Structure 1
């Protein structure tokens, strides 16, 4: 199917909201936390699970490339762009509700919104994740973690839609085989539409204090004032990526508008006007230098698209 035919099919599914749901030549720098990168041929933002399923079916049958993303906090689109369709999970798939001591969260719900909901309901267990950027769907996909906690610690299960939009099922957290920054979703391509978080009743003041302390800790040790994608590299077994980078003498290294953060060497930041090429060139320098110095191969945690 040609891109014009695909756009028409998606427009038909979007109906009167097509102008809001479908973006042609979407500037991905505006939709990713790095604030860098090229354009996607099309971007669609389905407003509910049924529309998502319908669009996935059309995309699957079209033969065109497509990929799913949420808040864009862990991806970088190359400057050459993405000659396919980016499916953005956000508005309309971001509802949060309580069932007993569990929170049922639409995959487009921001982690900050989930944290607020947990606090309002006096539910504890989510504090470690309260400052993680991005959406709950992305956090499940990556088994996001911070301060000794990971999503697998609190994920009761998730509702998934198959990549072709034809099937829907509920799986437990255990069935997702959640490891370090990895789940089986990387292989299956299934899309998270809801996550069920298993929390427990707590003291609201204590929850608020814990979230506040972790936020202060994050803000004091991470370059939150600059666009980035968080930790750029995965933690190598037995090491910390940031320390390896710092020990290799790379703290503050600049390529174009990209820089190894002077606050936390595990972060690559956009100091202003960085291109995706700047960021990737800097990443490659880091990988080569760290390997030369320590024999450790750093693996990117950020997903490179295009």
Structure 2
């Protein structure tokens, strides 16, 4: 790995870190070390990184702001490519927005609302990156990324870069084609918004932010919604009705505030969280005959 790290540094791909704890890069503050973490300084940096990693036949994983991740206590094997600074460019022309995958989604929503652009109000308070939002079709308040994205620039596993249209991204509830059928890294996205009344749009953004603050435990380390909603039911309601709010295993606790959130009380391990997830699944299956599926992405050794 030392030789690989040296090659990456020589190629000037961006920041190269060895044995970097993923707990520093996830909103749950959980996760062991990455053998190597690369924070690319540009799209070209991502391309060079992937080229070198594939040449060396080493595993790679891409992450964003770490808000929908549970990383193993043993960390992640190979190279972790973190999209952030260097891929946070933004260009706005009328109602068309072209934005880098590393750009903060909530920051983007707030900025565009101040310009009177409507369509991204649902993202008020979603603490992820644009790339992650495209990858998982992030959404809230009866809307999601599929409603506003026209196309995304994606680097596929073989290193080729393609623009995929909204249709080609095959969005559905919290999923896209990038998760399984065509794995790849989102580099940037093009959005089409609508002109609206600046004060009205900004008011909706603030309302959505306030709602999240009042109903979700973002003042504690957490990863966001743990389970997908088994529609027409809602995961949080099922957990609450089952009497599981406040249930704790190790340092991982089901939030008293929202049943679909697990918080790190300060000492939680990934194993604590996984045990709690398994317990919730079992109880909901036994009580309601409903199979729960995780929305949070579980990665690592």
TM score, norm. by length of structure 1: 0.95
- Aligned: 1:261 with 2:249: no
Is contact 2:110–2:202 with CA below 8 Å preserved after alignment?
Answer: no
Secondary structure (helix, strand or coil) at the match of 1:269 reads: strand
Counterpart Cα distance in 2 of 1:280 and 1:171 = 34
Comparing 69-78 with 235-244, greater Cα deviation is found at 235-244
Structure number having the greater helix percentage: 1
Is contact 1:59–1:164 with CA below 8 Å preserved after alignment?
Answer: no
Provide the residue aligned with 2:162 in structure 1. Answer: 169
Shift of 1:292: 1.0
Provide the residue aligned with 1:179 in structure 2. Answer: 172
Shift of 1:117: 2.5
Counterpart Cα distance in 2 of 1:80 and 1:56 = 23
- Aligned: 1:295 with 2:294: no
- What count of residue pairs does the alignment treat as equivalent? 299
- Candidates 5, 8, 20, aligned match of 1:7: 5
Per-residue CA shift, 1:133-153, capped at 9, x if unaligned? 110000000000001111000
Provide the residue aligned with 1:243 in structure 2. Answer: 237
Give the root-mean-square deviation of aligned CA atoms.
1.2
The structure 1 segments of at least 4 consecutive aligned residues displaced by more than 2 Å after TM superposition are: none
Provide the residue aligned with 2:60 in structure 1. Answer: 66
Counterpart Cα distance in 2 of 1:25 and 1:290 = 38
Shift of 1:4: 2.6
Shift of 1:301: 0.9
Per-residue CA shift, 1:189-247, capped at 9, x if unaligned? 22111111110111111111111111111111111211111100111132111111112
Provide the residue aligned with 1:305 in structure 2. Answer: 299
Counterpart Cα distance in 1 of 2:71 and 2:122 = 29
Per-residue CA shift, 1:138-187, capped at 9, x if unaligned? 0000000001111000111111112232x222121111000111111012
Q: Which aligned pairs between 1:114-193 and structure 2 lie closer than 5 A?
A: 114-165=108-159, 167-187=160-180, 188-193=182-187
Secondary structure (helix, strand or coil) at the match of 1:45 reads: strand
Is contact 2:113–2:205 with CA below 8 Å preserved after alignment?
Answer: no
- Aligned: 1:57 with 2:55: no
Provide the residue aligned with 2:193 in structure 1. Answer: 199
Counterpart Cα distance in 2 of 1:148 and 1:162 = 30
